[in-house]
Structure 1
């Protein structure tokens, strides 16, 4: 493969990453605003059940796309897909329960803890190395998000246990999303298509119970007006892009990068909430968002620098391997010529 074709593949990969990041941010911010209007303004508080509907619509959409040959379904070990789907479904339920049992401030701290725990797991079990500069940029980012979003910190035993379980299952699920795609050579679409039914099933069964426990209301007894149904349908449509882009971002980058992106979304949601929904906003929110954006900028810059170093090392190794492989080929004509001369001498004699 020539250097030009390698550069072409690299640039197309970078465009794919940028597209995935943009789609993830745009769709996530849109669905948060839609769901906030649905839950806060229209009185539909059933988050876990709504998530199960999101996954059902996502699977149906992907199934239709597969039938029309937009992508090829790839068989994955059923046990792997089932455990992966159930784990992701459980992590969503635990995050919602954590929000129900804890204060908003402690819930935000739970989400912040996902990044350092993911770094720890990848370092211990996947032997992944994170430079000091990247760790520093993550610290700046987390500090900014903490300043912008964390308010009160009220601890309770059950809430703390649920938060710890939510952190562990979320981190493991996101690491597996990246690992499965790379090791089994499946695309984000193929993995989501295979695992979505299991995620939807676990949430569809448990969702009404979780929501009833948290809200003291029955999702099936709720009065569904036309405006509520319209927002539910809109939320489900946007969720297809959210779920698809989530798997794509984690597969093309890393779980840590996805979490960094998630905190950018938090800052954007806070900003949009103030601009569009007139949520209360303080100087603390502004400072926190600015610090978080600086941290994300530093993280992106240091990741690009590390990738450039890695690519230069890979190219030099490939060049060395190419030179090593070409040595015997260069030597063969001389050997063959020598053998030819030798055989000529023998025949002449």
Structure 2
């Protein structure tokens, strides 16, 4: 979960490279408390393994790339987000079904024939987990179709705070001051990010509303924007 907190960092870098998206300095700064807060909140559950760390970082980068290219497909093709989810799910089934048959199906058959077979309670939990994961993907792609990849990454990082809070109550993990500080810092960072993005949108609106003064080849000038035109010394309503 610690590496998943870095997803906004990877997303903002990859969005700048792939989508040419530029953010304001305040947006970049607002990512610091989000990433730092999630990282601090998960320090009590930290267990280091080099191979695990590399795998988690690779998974985070892949997830960021999936978010960026899914958003790009939605924007370029106009495809419905649930249709895209269906296509990706079908491709994933075709790609990984042989792997599941080779590795997992054999183990399930052997365990089901043994004395210590899987209980109905475990099967029920697996079914519930599958349903919840399906619903989570529907919500994720619905959100992705509305917001930018960076905003989605921030929302995904914020979701970790909720997951940590739930595990603290359900699993009975001890709540430390470090957990509370990290969650508070991350929530504060989310508010700062929302404010920075709002200010960025307002600035973009002002730029599009400002008139553009263009010099023509014959020496006259045209003022464009807000429905007005200018011919050197006068303004005429278009």
TM interval, short-chain normalised: 0.7 to 0.9
| Cα displacement string for residues 10-36 of structure 1 (whole angstroms, at most 9, x for unaligned residues) | xxxxxxxxxxxxxxxxxxxxxxxxxxx
Show the 5 A alignment for 1:71-220.
108-151=1-44, 152=46, 154-156=48-50, 158-207=51-100, 218-220=107-109
Residue 181 of structure 1 deviates from its aligned partner by: 0.1
Distance 1:274 1:109 in 2: 16
| Cα displacement string for residues 187-210 of structure 1 (whole angstroms, at most 9, x for unaligned residues) | 211211222111233343334667
Are residues 1:289 and 2:164 paired? no
Any gaps of 5 or more consecutive residues in structure 1?
A: 1-107, 325-329, 332-349
Instruction: Note the aligned Cα RMSD (angstroms).
Output: 2.9
Larger proportion of helix? 1
Are residues 1:248 and 2:142 paired? yes
Residue 134 of structure 1 deviates from its aligned partner by: 0.9
1:300 corresponds, among 190, 194, 198, to: 194
SS at 1:224's partner residue?
A: coil
Any gaps of 5 or more consecutive residues in structure 2?
A: 213-223, 230-236
Under a length normalisation based on structure 2, what TM-score does the superposition of the two structures give? 0.77
Under a length normalisation based on structure 1, what TM-score does the superposition of the two structures give? 0.54
Give the equivalent residue in structure 2 for 1:345: none
Give the equivalent residue in structure 2 for 1:320: 225
Return closer, same or farther for 1:275/1:174 CA change in 2, 3 Å cut-off: same
Residue 237 of structure 1 deviates from its aligned partner by: 2.4
Residue 269 of structure 1 deviates from its aligned partner by: 1.5
Distance 1:260 1:206 in 2: 33
Question: Aligned pair count?
Answer: 215
User: Could you tell me whether the CA contact under 8 Å between 1:208 and 1:219 is conserved in 2?
Assistant: no
Return closer, same or farther for 1:275/1:201 CA change in 2, 3 Å cut-off: same
User: Could you tell me whether the CA contact under 8 Å between 1:145 and 1:288 is conserved in 2?
Assistant: yes
Larger proportion of strand? 2
User: Could you tell me whether the CA contact under 8 Å between 2:8 and 2:157 is conserved in 1?
Assistant: no
